[in-house]
Structure 1
Amino acid sequence: MRSRNTVFRLLVISFLFLTSCSSTPDIDNETMLDGDQIFDPSLYDPARYLVSVSIESPDEVQKNTPVVIAVHGYSASTFEWDEFREYSDANADILVSQVLLGGHGRTYEEFRNSTWKDWQEPIMEEYNALREKGYTNINFAGSSTACPLVLDLIKKGDIGDSGMKNIFLIDPIVIPSDKMLSLIGLLGPMIGYIETSNSALEDIHWYHFRPQETLNQLMDLISKVRKDLENGYRLPAGTHLKVYKSIKDSSADPVSAVLIYKGLKNRDGSAIDLEMLDSKLHVVTRLEARENVTQKDREIQKHVFDDMLMFLGQ
C-alpha cells in the first residue's frame, strides 16, 4: 500500500510539474486559435465545408452520390480533414462535409464553456440536413474524439437503420494513452489548463491550451462510451463500420480498438472490420503541419484513403 501511495504522489507531482500553475493562460491572439482573432474558416464560409449548405437543391444524381460527414477530434478543427477532401476530389466522385464540433474553432472561453454534447450537436445537424434534402448515401469519417461522439449517437439510436452506409473511425479514443488524464477531475481545478507543444502552424488550427473543464468533458464522454461497449450493442441495419488504429499512439491507447471490436457488432452479430496500422502517429490521415513526416506515414495515409474510397464506391 505504501508503494502505491508513493507512486500516486509522484504521479501528482509530475502532473503538476508538466502543466501550468496559473488558471488563466497567456494567449497570443495573433498566432493562436485560442484567441479572439483566428477562427475556423467554416464559420466564415460554411458553403465551402458543408454539403447541406453548398448544394441548395440537389438533383437525383447528387442525392445518390456518397456524402462523407468528416469530423475532427478534441481541440482540433476542420483542418484535420483537408487532406482527405483534397485526395477524394482528385480520385473519386464523392461529396465531403467537414463538420466543426460545437465549441471548437472559436475562442478559448467558448471552448472552455462547451460540453461534449455541444461538440456532438453539429454532427446530427448536418446528418439531419442531408436526410431532409434527400441524400441516400450518407457516410461518416471521424478521427479521435469524433469516434466516441458518433458511437454514442449509434447507441442512442439517433442514427437508425440504413442511416449511414459506412462509418470510418480513425484512431478512436476510448482509453487515453496518457493515464494522467484520469486525475484531471481531482487536479483540474488546481491547474486550470494543460499547455500543448503544437507547431506554429498547428496553433492556428488546434487549441494551444486545453482547459481542464473540456478535459473533464472528454473523460465523461469516453467513460460513457466505454461502459456502453462493455455492455455491448449492434450497428444499425445496412451500416458497415471499420476501425483504423495506429499500434503506437500517444493519445488513444490501442486497447480502444479492442474494446470497440469486442463491444460493437454488426446487426447480424458478426464482427466489425478492424485494421491495425504500423504507425506511431495519432490520426495518420492528417500529416500537414506535422514535423518529421516520413514516406512511410504518407504511404499509410494513402492506403487508408484508398481503402475508404473503395468502400464508398461499393
Structure 2
Amino acid sequence: MIIRPAKELFLEGNETAILLLHSYTSHTRDMKKLAEYLNQHIGCTCYVPLYKGHGIKPEALLNTTINDWWKNIQEAYYFLQQRGYKKISLIGLSVGGIFSLKLAQEEQIERLIVMSVPKDRTPERLKQRLIDYAKAYKQLEGKTSEMIAKELLPFQEMPLHSFKTFQEFIHHTMDNVSHITAPVEIYYGNKDDSLYEKSAGFVFENVSSNDKKIKAFPNSTHLMTLGKDKESLFEEVMSFIK
C-alpha cells in the first residue's frame, strides 16, 4: 500500500486565528476535522502545521528532535503574526498540548486548549512509541514480518539519551505553567491512561489564569479529536473560542 505524505493545513477565515498542534508520531489528521469545523461554523482562520519528520516514512524521525519540532511551532506562530493576525489561540493534543503550554508561556495568547497532555514521559516510553509507530506504518505498507524486523533495527538501536531531551522539554514546560495567564480549558478522556487525568489536574491547579476549566470526556481515549466524543468536544471548543 502506498501511503501519501501528510501536508500542513491552512484555512483562511476572519481575524481570529487558531494554531492547532498535533501529537507525536502523528500528523495533521489529528486536527483536520476540528480545524474544518471551526472554520465552517465560526469563520476563524485555522492553521495546522506539520512537524519535521512527521507524516512521511518513519525513518525521517530518526534524524529529528523535539527542538526541530519546537522551531516548527514557533515558525507557525510567527507565520500567523506576519499575516496580520493579532488574536491567536492555541489548541494542542498530547505533545501538541505541551507545545501549546510552552508557547503560552512565551507569547501573548488569546485562548488556550490542551487535550490529553502528559506531565511526564520516560525516554523508554517515548522510544517505544516511535518503534510502535514505525512497525504499524510498515505493516500498513504491506511489508513482510522479516522485512519489518530488519527495518525496525535502527529504531531499536537508538540510544535512550536521544529521548532525554524530549523528556526534559516536557518537564521544563510543566515546571513553568504558572507563567500562563490566558484563559484555558484542559480536556482529558476517561478511557485514556489515568496519568492524563492527573496531568490535566496539575495544569488546572498550577496555571495562573483566572478563567480556567477542566473537563472529562467519558468515551474518549487518547486522540480525543478523532474519538467517540468528538462532536461534543468540537462544540465545547467552539463555545470557548468564540
Secondary structure of the residue that 1:41 maps to in structure 2?
coil
After TM superposition, give the deviation of residue 103 of structure 1 in Å: 2.1
Matched, 1:165 2:105: no
Aligned to 2:120: 175
Q: Kindly, what percent of the aligned residue pairs are identical?
A: 17
* Inter-partner Cα distance in structure 2 for 1:282 and 1:84: 15
Secondary structure of the residue that 2:68 maps to in structure 1?
helix
* Inter-partner Cα distance in structure 1 for 2:95 and 2:129: 21
* Inter-partner Cα distance in structure 2 for 1:192 and 1:264: 28
Cα offsets for 1:103-146 (capped at 9, x unmatched): 21233222111100111222211211211221122111111111
Structure 2 CA distance for partners of 1:203 and 1:73, relative to 1, 3 Å: farther
* Inter-partner Cα distance in structure 2 for 1:99 and 1:214: 28
Structure 2 CA distance for partners of 1:230 and 1:193, relative to 1, 3 Å: closer
Secondary structure of the residue that 1:39 maps to in structure 2?
coil
* Inter-partner Cα distance in structure 1 for 2:159 and 2:241: 34
Aligned to 1:312: 241
Structure 2 CA distance for partners of 1:87 and 1:167, relative to 1, 3 Å: same
1:281 aligned to which of 212, 221, 233: 221
Secondary structure of the residue that 2:186 maps to in structure 1?
strand
Cα offsets for 1:236-290 (capped at 9, x unmatched): 5xx2111111123149632111221233222xxx473211221341122114xxx
What pairs up with 1:40-79 in 2 under 5 angstroms?
Answer: 40-42=6-8, 49-50=9-10, 65-79=15-29
Cα offsets for 1:39-79 (capped at 9, x unmatched): 1133xxxxxx235xxx6xxxxxx6x5221111110000111
Structure 2 CA distance for partners of 1:85 and 1:216, relative to 1, 3 Å: farther
Structure with bigger gyration radius: 1
After TM superposition, give the deviation of residue 230 of structure 1 in Å: 4.2
Aligned to 1:123: 73
Structure 2 CA distance for partners of 1:69 and 1:203, relative to 1, 3 Å: farther
RMSD of aligned C-alpha atoms? 3.5
Larger mean Cα displacement after TM superposition, 110-119 or 98-107:
98-107
Aligned to 1:12: none
Matched, 1:302 2:231: yes
Aligned to 1:249: 192
* Inter-partner Cα distance in structure 1 for 2:125 and 2:221: 24
Aligned to 1:19: none
* Inter-partner Cα distance in structure 2 for 1:240 and 1:116: 26
Residue identity in the other structure for 1:41 = K
Which has the larger share of helix? 2
After TM superposition, give the deviation of residue 217 of structure 1 in Å: 5.5
Q: Which runs of 5+ in 2 are unaligned?
A: 142-151
Q: TM-score, normalised by structure 2?
A: 0.78
Secondary structure of the residue that 1:253 maps to in structure 2?
helix
Cα offsets for 1:156-190 (capped at 9, x unmatched): x2x1xxx32111111112235xxxx55469xx6xx
What pairs up with 1:1-314 in 2 under 5 angstroms?
Answer: 30-31=1-2, 38-42=4-8, 49-50=9-10, 65-155=15-105, 157=106, 159=107, 163-176=108-121, 181=122, 183=124, 194-196=131-133, 211=155, 213=158, 220-230=165-175, 233-236=178-181, 239-250=182-193, 253-266=196-209, 270=210, 272-287=212-227, 297=228, 300-313=229-242
* Inter-partner Cα distance in structure 1 for 2:235 and 2:28: 21
Secondary structure of the residue that 1:50 maps to in structure 2?
strand
Q: TM-score, normalised by structure 1?
A: 0.62
Cα offsets for 1:173-215 (capped at 9, x unmatched): 2235xxxx55469xx6xx9962359888x958xxxx7946598
* Inter-partner Cα distance in structure 2 for 1:74 and 1:253: 15
After TM superposition, give the deviation of residue 147 of structure 1 in Å: 1.1
